[in-house]
Amino acid sequence: MHDKPRRIVIKLGTGIITQGVGKIDPLQIAGICSQVAEIQKRGIEVILVSSGAIGMGMGVLGMDSRPQTLAKQQACASIGQSRLIQCWQDGLAPYDIIVGQILLTHEGLSVRNRYVNAKATIEQMLAYGVVPIINENDAISNYEIRFGNNDLLGAMVASFSEADHLYILSTAPGLIDMDGTGEIVPIVEKITPRIAAMAKGTNSPTAVGGMVSKIDAAMLATESGCATYIADGSEQNVVLRILDGEQIGTLFKPAATPIASKKRWLTYFQRPNGSVVIDQGACTALAERGRSLLAPGVLRVEGIFESGEVIDIISTDGTIIGRGQTAFSSVEIEEIISKRSPDVEKLHPDRNRLEIIHRDEMAIL
């Protein structure tokens, strides 16, 4: 990948920017900030996704391992976040670069207008020449609304900001073929089941995820048309060297035909609370003919949801075949398909043509 990118996202793991638990590594911060300044001089926009808030809070509180309870993690994050953003501001100040902080939750990005607002905010910050520093809002995130790890957050940011490159920098030197050569895989053309099977977890006391989360992140980013690099962030000038064409770590090539923005939002940014189970005829109409989901194809409703929410579309064998924004609530769909309500025929006289999910509001998985 030698084409000059217009915009890049650099995701930094806790292990790269800290020395042990909770102690910022000033040389690493200085090295990264120097690269950011040089990248900007080349006319490339930079977004940083920085882990480290919980780890820094742990250091302040004298903890040596990641706390297990959510409340303790949130307390650590609230203590560490201000220190983390100050490190980046101090590191970039000598280059007259301004930083801005954005804290996100998965729940926030699953709501369409918040997703669009986050994108607009980042666009404006970049137009001002500001470097956005993005992290999960760990101080308030619970299981239901959190990303779970910053690899996924980095990929989501790369996706909705339409970045050309995503650099996932951690202590991992790349994707290693543990069951084969034992060497780093230099280039991945497409993420296949064999590639995914190479992923291993992490034993770091401050990190979450591991190579599994990095492969998942690469899947989202590459489907968005974003080249993704997994490399050792402690390598000197690693991003600049990759930009200059040096082979470091693993490159995951972008999809030749990226998924459209709305389809990506439906596919990757949602955790649906409900679903509809559809018959084989409807499966064929959706997957092979690009049709909308009509009422006659719906067999049953699972879960409770309101109109406008994103739900899963499931075949009779339990396979999730798609995801989309429903035009009706779960209660309304049950009434429509069962005709229990005396008002159904009056409100929807042409039931057979009633669209539960329009094709433009749907993504086939």
Which domains does the chain possess? 7-263 (3.40.1160.10), 272-364 (2.30.130.10)
CA distance 239 to 169: 9
- List the Cα angle 295/296/298 in 5-degree steps: 70
Looking at residue 279, its pLDDT comes to 95
Q: How confident is the model at residue 352 (pLDDT cuts 50, 70, 90)?
A: low
Q: Say if residue 205's pLDDT is above 50.
A: no
Looking at residue 109, its pLDDT comes to 87
Task: Find the mean pLDDT for residues 56-60.
Answer: 87
Task: Find the mean pLDDT for residues 223-233.
Answer: 95
Task: Find the mean pLDDT for residues 21-29.
Answer: 85
Q: How confident is the model at residue 201 (pLDDT cuts 50, 70, 90)?
A: very low
Please give the model's pTM, rounded to 2 decimal places. Answer: 0.84
Q: Say if residue 307's pLDDT is above 90.
A: yes
- List the Cα angle 203/208/211 in 5-degree steps: 75
Task: Find the mean pLDDT for residues 329-341.
Answer: 82
CA distances (Å), 342 to each of 39, 101, 307, 345, 357, in order?
65, 54, 20, 7, 23
Looking at residue 149, its pLDDT comes to 73
Q: Give the whole-number percent of the chain exceeding pLDDT 70.
A: 90
Task: Find the mean pLDDT for residues 81-87.
Answer: 91
Average predicted confidence (pLDDT) for the chain: 88
Where are the extended beta strands (E) located within the chain? 7-12, 45-50, 99-104, 131-136, 165-170, 187-188, 227-232, 250-252, 275-278, 293-294, 298-302, 310-314, 320-325, 355-357, 362-364
Least reliable range by pLDDT among 63-67, 141-145, 241-245: 141-145
Q: Give the whole-number percent of the chain exceeding pLDDT 90.
A: 58
Q: How confident is the model at residue 16 (pLDDT cuts 50, 70, 90)?
A: confident
> The tokens of 175 are what?
């994707």
Instruction: Tell me which of 288 and 345 has the higher pLDDT.
Output: 288
Q: How confident is the model at residue 336 (pLDDT cuts 50, 70, 90)?
A: confident
Task: Find the mean pLDDT for residues 46-67.
Answer: 88
CA distance 129 to 362: 36
Least reliable range by pLDDT among 2-11, 197-206, 282-291: 197-206
Q: How confident is the model at residue 347 (pLDDT cuts 50, 70, 90)?
A: low
Task: Find the mean pLDDT for residues 118-130.
Answer: 96
